Amino acid sequence: MTVSVPGPTLGVVGGGQLGRMLAEAASPLGVDVVVLDPTPDCPASTVADQIVGAFDDPDAMAELAARADVLTFEIELADPDLLDELAAEEGIEVHPSPDALRTIEDKLIQKDTFGEAGIPIPPFHRVDDAADLRAALDEFGSVMLKARTGGYDGRGNVPVTDPDDAEAAIEEVGGPAMAEAFVDFERELSVIGVRGDDEIRTFPVGENVHEAEILRETIVPARTTDDVRDEADRVAREVLSHLPGRGVFGIELFETSEGEVLVNEVAPRPHNSGHWTIEGALSSQFEQHVRAVLGWPLGATDRRAPTVMANVLGTVDEPRAARLGGLDDLLSESGVSLHWYGKEQVRPLRKMGHLTAVGDTDHEVLLSRARELRDGLHFE
């Protein structure tokens, strides 16, 4: 491996906020970024070149490959078969591997893969019809019915406790599904892991606070015991060892009431629960992803100080043009940073940005400060 700057061009399938932050992290490294996204003037377009096209458009994907030295993706809607074809026809590397995307994009295949590898996961059942769902309810008592593909931020997830609701739940999910037993968990955790060339690194374990199945805050380090944090890191590294290719992976976990750590879901890309790393760690998850997919040496993953990340969600009833107000207190606060994603329209509960509070102080003080400043924002 020979590293020099200016560096290569990175092609990214997806130009949302993750693509935007990837491009922001790539620029200081001398790496140019081109993104492919179907939305004109997507969030990443202000900091990267954009090709406007669908994620499964062969011509648009071929143009992306022609302009890039390495391909990656920031959204699971990327087509792994098309990525494989481009790798073969254009002689271009794709990271993480399309095989990793195939494993992760279907939640049933993901759980089957981890279960066969002996990685701790909640009990689950494949669900093709209402009879399958009733069988899962009979065994588990209550379940979370999950769409096998496409679900995120609570979409595609339906809690079910009554067998009489089976048909309605199947209809709401709208396709192939799996039923996962409800986990009696103490807290939700996550580990941002990085696979490089013959090296794996992990960021400190974070604690995630969800409401209505949407991430609201991430607290680092997680408010749990050293033993649980060590086990979460061990499980995350085991997950990484079974996913091919280089790059960043977001690994969501449950800490049970008995202190066990179970894998919930994995994302083959930078993850919302890793946004704290921009200010809170020696190198961000986005810089690490750029380094990893290019085959460059990885950076340090140590945290700088206790950190809290709080999402800024759309606090509106109806979609409208996005204009954020109430910023004076946030921008005046020492140790607090704002990240605005550049989305033109705000919608109910849409992720519009985040803030990060960093300081050598108590977790609860940081969390309270982050929530107060976030809740003081409003859409005009």
Residue 35 near residue 50 (C-beta atoms within 8 A): yes
Residue 10 near residue 74 (C-beta atoms within 8 A): no
pLDDT band at 7 (very low <50, low <70, confident <90, very high): confident
User: In angstroms, rounded to a whole number, what is the distance separating the alpha carbons of residues 253 and 235?
Assistant: 9
What would the pLDDT profile of 152-185 be if each residue is shown by its tens digit?
Answer: 666 778 999 999 999 999 999 887 899 999 998 9
Write out the two tokens for 294: 């290019």
Residue 204 near residue 220 (C-beta atoms within 8 A): yes
**Residue-level pLDDT at 152:** 66
What would the pLDDT profile of 226-278 be if each residue is shown by its tens digit?
Answer: 999 999 999 999 999 999 999 999 999 999 999 999 999 999 999 999 999 99
CATH 3.30.1490.20 domain position(s) in the chain: 123-181
Total-model pTM: 0.95
As a dihedral over the C-alpha atoms of residue 284, residue 36, residue 351, residue 279, rounded to 10 degrees, the angle is 10
**Residue-level pLDDT at 242:** 93
**Residue-level pLDDT at 150:** 76
Second-level CATH architecture of 185-379: 2-Layer Sandwich (3.30)
| CATH fold for the domain made of 9-94 | Rossmann fold (3.40.50)
User: In angstroms, rounded to a whole number, what is the distance separating the alpha carbons of residues 87 and 284?
Assistant: 28
| CATH fold for the domain made of 123-181 | Dna Ligase; domain 1 (3.30.1490)
**Residue-level pLDDT at 53:** 97
Binding-site residues for ATP? 107, 146, 180-183, 188, 210, 264-265
* Weakest-pLDDT range from 35-39, 141-145, 232-236, 274-278: 141-145
Binding-site residues? 107, 146, 180-183, 188, 210, 264-265
87 class by beta-carbon count within 10 Å (0-12 exposed, 13-18 middle, 19+ buried): middle
For β-strands 336-340 and 324-325, DSSP reports them as unpaired
Say which DSSP state 360 is in: S
User: In angstroms, rounded to a whole number, what is the distance separating the alpha carbons of residues 261 and 361?
Assistant: 27
Q: What is the mean pLDDT of residues 76-99?
A: 94
CATH 3.30.470.20 domain position(s) in the chain: 185-379
**Residue-level pLDDT at 153:** 61
Q: What is the mean pLDDT of the chain?
A: 95
